[in-house]
């Protein structure tokens, strides 16, 4: 159950940078997207708190931030036109290997 909570926390971790990105545009502030970001931040933190009751803190934190980083990277490329260079993909692959290694260890 703790790993499920941690994965959900990581998915929520993806939501807040997306909300912040969409929350401020050339047209100005978009409060609903800012609110979405705040809800994602809160949910992510609470779920991480619960997961850390069974998963070591360092492992939980690394996995949590890794899921957030990889997810934000993917959404950045898919939805916002961020560059998808070979070096960036290789670097994200290393993050994924680290997450897998922590889960297996």
Closest by Cα among 25, 46, 24 to 35: 24
Q: How confident is the model at residue 3 (pLDDT cuts 50, 70, 90)?
A: very high
CA nearest 69: which of 82, 57, 56?
82
- The token pair that represents 4 in the structure block: 């499920």
Q: Is the CB of residue 13 less than 8 Å from the CB of residue 64?
A: yes
pTM for the structure as a whole: 0.89
Q: How far apart are CA 51 and CA 2, in angstroms?
A: 5
> Can you tell me the mean pLDDT for 7-21?
97
23-80 pLDDT tens trace: 998 999 999 999 999 999 999 999 999 999 999 999 999 999 999 999 999 999 999 9
- Say what the pLDDT of residue 103 is: 82
For the chain, list the strands marked E by DSSP. 24-25, 28-29
Classify 88 as helix, strand or coil: helix
């Amino acid at each position: 159950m703790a790993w499920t909570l941690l994965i959900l926390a990581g998915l929520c971790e993806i939501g807040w940078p997306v909300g912040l990105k969409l929350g401020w545009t050339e047209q100005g502030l978009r409060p609903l997207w800012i609110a979405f970001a705040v809800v994602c931040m809160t949910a992510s933190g609470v779920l991480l708190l619960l997961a850390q009751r069974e998963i070591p803190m360092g492992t939980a934190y690394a996995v949590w931030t890794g899921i957030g980083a990889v997810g934000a990277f993917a959404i950045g490329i898919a939805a916002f036109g961020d560059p998808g260079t070979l070096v960036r993909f290789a670097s994200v692959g290393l993050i994924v290997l680290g997450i897998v290694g922590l889960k297996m260890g």
